[in-house]
Structure 1
Amino acid sequence: MNDNQLHARIFRTADEWYADVDDELDPQPDNPLWWGSYETQPAALEAACARLAALRQAS
């Protein structure tokens, strides 16, 4: 992973919560670095934070 700024986004559509992680070079939601769908907002937030931490450790 490079030194780009990563951004987590949590949002809801219908009955699912989504989380994705993008970098500043390609912040469009059509091609995130990572994404997942969850039943609750806290689960989506926890997953996004865990993914950010994992990406940070891998750099």
Structure 2
Amino acid sequence: MPSNATYCLVVLSGIEDFEYLGIYYAEVVRMPCGRKRKLKKIKKHKLKKRRKRDRHKKKLR
């Protein structure tokens, strides 16, 4: 699977679950593959309170 497709999936799920983070996710798509970690950092920083709910969502998927 090419990295672009992976990024697209991340972006779509990002906008769906965290609409206010849409800008950050869009930025990451334009970046090269090595910047994937930056996305994770932003998520952790912005979503400390949501982490519990997020984990539950992942289990349901």
Same topology, TM > 0.5: no
Which structure has more helix as a fraction of its residues?
A: 2
Q: Which has the higher contact order (CA 8 A, sep 6+)?
A: 1
- Which TM-score applies when normalising by structure 2? 0.36
Which structure has more strand as a fraction of its residues?
A: 1
- Which TM-score applies when normalising by structure 1? 0.37
